[in-house]
Structure 1
Amino acid sequence: MWFFAILVVLALGGIALVAAGRGAPLAEVYDDRPDSSVPAEGPLTADDLRRVRFSLGFRGYRMSEVDALLDRLASEREEADREQGTERGRGDEPTA
């Protein structure tokens, strides 16, 4: 009986040592999140918005909703860029 009690205590002590980080080291941590590839500075373009990818968390998000919003923002950005291009082409831009 005492032999099994000592054996259990030694086994629990070994498990505690491994759990505390003693023994073999764990694998190196690496960042597995997707690169968003959005420029940190300057205005965003429609293509920048289309390249955005979000990382998933435990509770996550509805990917279809985020993708739909990004598509809408990219389309609106393209439309705004086109309007700016036509206004510049008409000469509506003030001269300095």
Structure 2
Amino acid sequence: MFLFLLIAMVVVVGAVTLAVVGGGDSAALPEVAPERLVDPLPENRPVGRADVEALRLPVTVRGYRMADVDDALGRLGAELAERDARIAELESALAGARATAVAGPDLFTKPGGLTERDGEPGR
């Protein structure tokens, strides 16, 4: 009986080994290329909300690949810095436009060109 169990165990272990290794043409475990991040963010246009939502970083044994995460965060940081600079530029231009609109034409000038401030009556 012991000999029968020993032979059965050897047959089972051999069958499992062949199934895992892939003895012959059967592809039980095909070779798979490591999962890599393929151009996650567009290079030819600014990053949009849909790009960030669609971003999926590849997972490794201990989490995410540090290089891929660093690349994605670096790109997002550069995009945010560029947008912040553009927003600051537009806000300063808007403030300048508002200042010239408020201080635009002299409210005390009469149509004739003379002002009451100059001491001469206007027309």
State the TM-score bracket (shorter-chain normalisation): 0.3 to 0.5
Larger radius of gyration between Structure 1 and Structure 2: 2
The TM-score, its normalising length taken from structure 1, stands at 0.46
Using CA pairs under 8 Å that are at least 6 residues apart, name the structure with larger relative contact order, 1 or 2: 1
The TM-score, its normalising length taken from structure 2, stands at 0.38
